[in-house]
Structure 1
Amino acid sequence: MRALTVIPKRPGTVELTEVPDPKPADGELLVQGLAVGVCGTDKEIVRGEYGWSPPGRERLVIGHESLGRVHSAGPDSGFSAGDLVVGVVRRPDPVPCGACAHDEFDMCRNGEYTERGIKEIDGYASELWSVEAGYAVTIDPTLERVGVLVEPTSVVAKAWEQIRRVGQRAWFEPHRVLVTGAGPIGLLAALLGIQQGLEVHVLDRVTEGPKPDLVRRLGATYHHEDAAAVAARLRPDVVIEATGAGGVVFDVLANTAAYGIVCLTGVSSGGRPLRLDAAALNRDLVLENDAVLGSVNANLRHYRQAADALVAADESWLDALITRRVPLSRYAEAFEPTPDDVKVVITLDGENS
């Protein structure tokens, strides 16, 4: 079968490779791959900046935003042939740490976890893949065109869960949310905010293309001005920061409502020093009981929350979020950005529609 592979830490090594068909072990599903999403992590791996091969192997099958259809399943697996499924990315560390021992492997404390398509386990960018039944999530058949969005949605489902947990340290009734960044993570975070009945604002730099329209179709408000000015005007109760841009991070930290919560989901690239008044920022955080947290990855609970959120969403909006579908045979195009990209997907079943 065909699979998209790289030699991690070596740029220019991504290629379509013939690899053996998977042989599912007891308790595993055999799945026909339908699609994989392409995100910033995949691009970093392709550029040779990130990633680890399985032990004893040179190449890694990439792809962690999965969608597939069960080809075969054991009688006691809870799955049937034809089920639409996504595979969970992370696996707990073998020690395990306290978090992993309690199935909260997204919060692993020792870093010994592994991840499909990223760290030491082959990913889902192949025509067939196998997955342990306990790390597969069934999704509604109506999500066949957009189910590849479950994994990125699980990331923001976790972020919202963490925000609620922090807020509930005391009375918590947020009203206004600012999401910085209108990429897939930002837009999906906005979707979940709208589903909670909140007033949602989204900030991004672009003024044209699909992003402003996707925000408006959600019923949210789009902004493209300076982050500090927008945040100061809105004074949001909650901020979900999805750019990783240092200046934006500090602008929103300084401009929340009292008892505000800022959840950082964007990973910064570093390398650009910033001047800031750390003492003033500290004073504001303390005197206003503000909270700042980072959130990444997801566990099984968040995948199920994500699947439920997508079923409740407007399918045409979700479909519009996927701005390009590239067949596996033309995989290189998926890693070449175009001005109107939001989410790019590689199709694995020979279709490009």
Structure 2
Amino acid sequence: MRALTVDPKTAGSFQVDELPDPEPRQGELLVRGLAVGVCGTDKEIVRAEYGWSPPGRERMVLGHESLGRVVTAPDGSDFAAGDLVVGVVRRPDPVPCGACARGEFDNCRNGRYTERGIKELDGYAAELWCVETDYAVTLDPKLEHVGVLMEPTSVVAKAWEQVQRVGERAWYEPRRALVTGAGPIGLLAAMIGVQQGLDVHVLDLVEDGPKPHLVKELGATYHHQDVDEVAAHLQPDVVIEATGVGQVVFSAMRNNAAFGVVCLTGVSPAGRKLEVDAGSVNREIVLQNDVVVGSVNANLRHYRQAANALAAADLDWLAGMISRRVPLESCTDAFEAQPDDVKVVIDLDGRR
């Protein structure tokens, strides 16, 4: 089989290799890969800025945003040949910590978790892959061409769950949400916000192209003005921050509604300094009972929530998020940004 592999210690080392077909172990599915999504984490790995190969090996199969079709399934499992599935990214640590022991491995407390295609486990960018039945989730068959959006949707499903849990510490009835950033995470966060019946606003820098159109088609409102101006005017009950840009993060924290919740999903680069009136930010958070919470990764519950959210979404809208599909043999193109990129996908099955 062909697979996209990389040495996380060597920049630019990714390539398509011929590897032996995998043999499923007891309790595993054998899956034919259909597609993998490319995100910022993948780009960091190919630049040798992040990632760890499996112990004792230099190279790792890349890819954590999976989509595949079951070839074989264990007898007595809930899966059957032909099922459309995704593989969960994270695995709990072996100790395990209290969170991992209770299925909340997305909140691992000791950092000994592993992740497919990222940390010490091969990923899903292969024509065939295996996955434990306990870490596979089925998708509605109609999502065959867009189900690769499942993993990023699971991330924002968790973010919205965190917002809900934090808000319910007292009376909570949010009406307006601001999503900062109109990349895949921001757009999918906006999608779930709309599904919840909220008045959703999305802020991004670009003034034209696919992002404003996607926001409009979703039924949300698009903004490209200064973040302080937009947030101060909207006074959102919820902010989902998906840029990781320091100025945007602190503007969101300063300008939400009283008793508001700001959920940070974007990762900021280290080493960049920003002048912030920390006293003013602290005063706003304390006197208005605001909450700022970080959210990353997802557990099985969030994957199932994501599957439901995608099944309820407009298929044409989801398809519009996928701006480019690149065949595996041309995978280099997937890592070269183009102006109108939203989500770039590598097709693994040449028959598609």
Quickly name the TM-score band, shorter chain normalised. over 0.9
Matches of 1:77 and 1:330, distance apart in 2 = 36
Secondary structure of the residue that 2:33 maps to in structure 1?
strand
Secondary structure of the residue that 1:115 maps to in structure 2?
strand
Determine if the alignment matches structure 1 residue 114 to structure 2 residue 117.
Answer: no
Q: What is aligned with 1:221?
A: 221
Matches of 1:284 and 1:208, distance apart in 2 = 34
Matches of 2:321 and 2:234, distance apart in 1 = 26
Q: What is aligned with 1:243?
A: 243
Q: How many residues align?
A: 352
Q: What is aligned with 1:302?
A: 302
Q: What is aligned with 1:130?
A: 130
Contact 1:99 1:105 in 2 (8 A): yes
Q: What is aligned with 1:201?
A: 201
Contact 1:70 1:81 in 2 (8 A): yes
CA displacement at 1:79 relative to structure 2: 0.6
Q: What is aligned with 1:261?
A: 261
Contact 1:244 1:269 in 2 (8 A): yes
Matches of 1:62 and 1:342, distance apart in 2 = 20
Matches of 2:52 and 2:236, distance apart in 1 = 39
Secondary structure of the residue that 2:20 maps to in structure 1?
coil
Q: What is aligned with 2:292?
A: 292
Q: What is aligned with 1:326?
A: 326
CA displacement at 1:280 relative to structure 2: 1.1
Aligned pairs for 1:50-61 within 5 A: 50-61=50-61
Please give the root-mean-square deviation of Cα atoms over the aligned residues, in Å.
Answer: 0.6
Secondary structure of the residue that 2:4 maps to in structure 1?
strand
1:292-344 deviations in whole A, cap 9, x for unaligned?
00000000000000000001000000000000000001000000000000000
Determine if the alignment matches structure 1 residue 347 to structure 2 residue 347.
Answer: yes
Q: What is aligned with 1:139?
A: 139
Matches of 1:77 and 1:65, distance apart in 2 = 23
Contact 1:180 1:186 in 2 (8 A): yes
Counterpart of 1:252 in structure 2: which amino acid? Answer: A
CA displacement at 1:12 relative to structure 2: 1.4
TM-score, normalising length: structure 2: 0.99
Secondary structure of the residue that 1:5 maps to in structure 2?
strand
Contact 1:4 1:15 in 2 (8 A): yes
Contact 1:4 1:126 in 2 (8 A): yes
Matches of 1:338 and 1:8, distance apart in 2 = 24
Q: What is aligned with 2:277?
A: 277
1:18-48 deviations in whole A, cap 9, x for unaligned?
1111111000000000000000000000111
Counterpart of 2:44 in structure 1: which amino acid? Answer: E
Matches of 1:49 and 1:319, distance apart in 2 = 31
CA displacement at 1:271 relative to structure 2: 2.3
Aligned pairs for 1:60-99 within 5 A: 60-99=60-99
Secondary structure of the residue that 1:37 maps to in structure 2?
strand
TM-score, normalising length: structure 1: 0.99
Matches of 1:148 and 1:207, distance apart in 2 = 27
Q: What is aligned with 1:45?
A: 45
Secondary structure of the residue that 1:292 maps to in structure 2?
strand
1:264-312 deviations in whole A, cap 9, x for unaligned?
0000012221111111111110000000000000000000000000010
Secondary structure of the residue that 1:257 maps to in structure 2?
coil
CA displacement at 1:90 relative to structure 2: 0.1
Secondary structure of the residue that 1:296 maps to in structure 2?
coil
Matches of 1:311 and 1:79, distance apart in 2 = 18
Counterpart of 2:195 in structure 1: which amino acid? Answer: Q
Matches of 2:291 and 2:103, distance apart in 1 = 25
Q: What is aligned with 1:190?
A: 190
Contact 1:5 1:16 in 2 (8 A): yes
Counterpart of 1:43 in structure 2: which amino acid? Answer: K
CA displacement at 1:107 relative to structure 2: 0.4
Contact 1:201 1:223 in 2 (8 A): yes
Q: How many percent identity over aligned positions? A: 72
Counterpart of 1:149 in structure 2: which amino acid? Answer: L
Counterpart of 1:282 in structure 2: which amino acid? Answer: N
Q: What is aligned with 2:16?
A: 16
CA displacement at 1:351 relative to structure 2: 4.6
| Structure 1: gaps (5+ residues) | none
Contact 1:327 1:351 in 2 (8 A): no
Q: What is aligned with 1:151?
A: 151
Matches of 2:50 and 2:283, distance apart in 1 = 37
